[in-house]
C-alpha cells in the first residue's frame, strides 16, 4: 500500500491522460465511418482494451479521411 501512495503523484496524471485519449478516440470511432483499415467494432475494442497504446494506434493508423 505504501508503494501505491508513493507513485500516486505519477499515476493520477497518467490515468487522466489515458481516459482523455480513450474517450476522444472512442468518440471519433463512433462518429466517422471511414478507416484506413479495420472496421468500427475492431477499433472500439482496440481503443477500449489496449489502454494508452490503443487510442494512439487508432489516431496514427486507423483514422481515415475526414
Q: Where are the domains of the chain?
A: 2-62
Q: What pLDDT score was predicted for residue 66?
A: 59
Phi and psi dihedrals of 35, rounded to 5?
-130, 150
For residue 51, what are the CA distances in angstroms to 1, 6, 38?
A: 23, 22, 18
The pLDDT tens digits of the residues spanning 1-48 come to: 678 888 888 889 988 999 999 999 899 889 988 887 788 899 889 888
The answer to whether 37 touches 61, Cβ cutoff 8 Å, is yes
| Buried/exposed 14-28: b ≥16 CB within 10 Å, e otherwise | eeeeeeebbeebbeb
Q: What pLDDT score was predicted for residue 65?
A: 63
Q: What pLDDT score was predicted for residue 3?
A: 81
Amino acid at each position: 500500500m505504501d508503494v501505491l501512495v508513493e507513485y500516486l503523484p505519477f499515476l493520477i496524471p497518467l490515468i487522466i491522460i489515458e481516459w482523455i485519449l480513450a474517450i476522444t478516440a472512442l468518440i471519433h470511432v463512433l462518429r466517422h465511418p471511414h478507416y484506413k483499415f479495420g472496421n468500427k467494432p475492431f477499433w472500439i475494442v482496440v481503443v477500449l482494451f489496449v489502454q494508452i497504446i490503443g487510442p494512439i494506434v487508432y489516431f496514427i493508423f486507423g483514422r481515415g479521411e475526414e
